[in-house]
Amino acid sequence: MKINGNAIRPGNVIEHKNGLWVAVKIQHTQPGKGGAYLQVELKNLRDGTKLNERFRSSETVERARLEQKPYQFLFEDGELLTFMDTETYEQVSLSKDLVGDKAAFLKDGMDLEIEFYEEEPLNLLLPEHVTFEITETEPTVKGQTAASSYKPAILENGMRIMVPPFCNTGEKIVVNTETSEYAKRAE
C-alpha cells in the first residue's frame, strides 16, 4: 500500500532501498527555504542497520503489510528460541540476533505474537507487561523515603532494573517490556 512520505509514523514498516525498514523516530522539519520534509530514522528489520532519510510530502513509499500470528514461547536452545503456533502447533525457531533485547523478557509458555512478511518471521510483539520475581536487592535504608529514591534490583531473568524502596527480595513485580522499567507490584 502506497502512502505519502509525510504519513510515516513510528512503528510503520516500509519497503525502501530493497529492504524492509521500521520507522524508529520521526521529526517534521520546515526549513526557511524550500518545502517541509519528514526526517525519519529507519532500522532494517533483517540486519539491524540504521539509516536516516528525508521524505517530502510529494514522495510516496510502499508500506509493508506484516501478518501477525499468535505464538507461544517453548524453550531456548543455545542461540535459537523456539516458538509454537497456537493454532496449527507448528514450531518456528528464531535466532537471538533477530529477537535482540526482547529475549530477556521471554518466559516458558508465554503467549505473544510474531510478525511475518511473506512467511518470513521478522519481529516479536511481546505483551506490554511481564511479571518477574526479584532475586536480589538491597535492604531499604530507614529514612530513605523520597519519591525518586529507587534502588537497583536483579530479576529472575538476570535483568537489572531500578525498583522503589518498598520492593524486597522474593517479591513479584510487573515490568514494562517497552521501557524495561518497574511498573507495579504483582497481585
Alpha helices in 52-175, H assignment, sequence order: 96-99
Q: What is the pLDDT of residues 104-131, one digit of tens each?
A: 999 999 999 998 988 888 888 899 999 9
152 pLDDT exceeds 70?
Answer: yes
Q: What is the pLDDT of residue 130?
A: 94
Q: What is the pLDDT of residue 7?
A: 87
133 pLDDT exceeds 90?
Answer: yes
Q: Decide: 133 and 171 in contact? Cβ < 8 Å.
A: yes
Share of the chain above pLDDT 90, in %: 48
Maximum alpha-carbon separation in the chain: 62
Q: What is the pLDDT of residue 145?
A: 59
176 pLDDT exceeds 90?
Answer: yes
Q: What is the pLDDT of residue 36?
A: 86
**Among candidate residues 68, 183, 86, the one with its CA nearest the CA of residue 124:** 68
**Among candidate residues 116, 128, 127, 103, the one with its CA nearest the CA of residue 45:** 116
Q: What is the pLDDT of residue 136?
A: 94
**Full set of structural domains in the chain with CATH:** 2-63 (2.30.30.30), 67-125 (2.40.50.140), 129-185 (2.40.50.140)
**Among candidate residues 70, 58, 53, 68, the one with its CA nearest the CA of residue 15:** 53
Q: What is the pLDDT of residues 2-36, one digit of tens each?
A: 888 888 888 888 999 888 998 889 999 888 888 88
Q: What is the pLDDT of residues 52-92, one digit of tens each?
A: 999 988 899 999 888 999 999 999 998 999 999 999 999 99
147 pLDDT exceeds 60?
Answer: no
Q: What is the pLDDT of residues 33-54, one digit of tens each?
A: 888 899 999 988 888 789 999 9
Task: List the grid coordinates of 3.
Answer: 502512502
Task: List the grid coordinates of 148.
Answer: 525518586
In degrees rounded to 5, what are phi and psi of residue 96?
A: -65, -30
Supply the pTM of this predicted model: 0.75
155 pLDDT exceeds 90?
Answer: yes
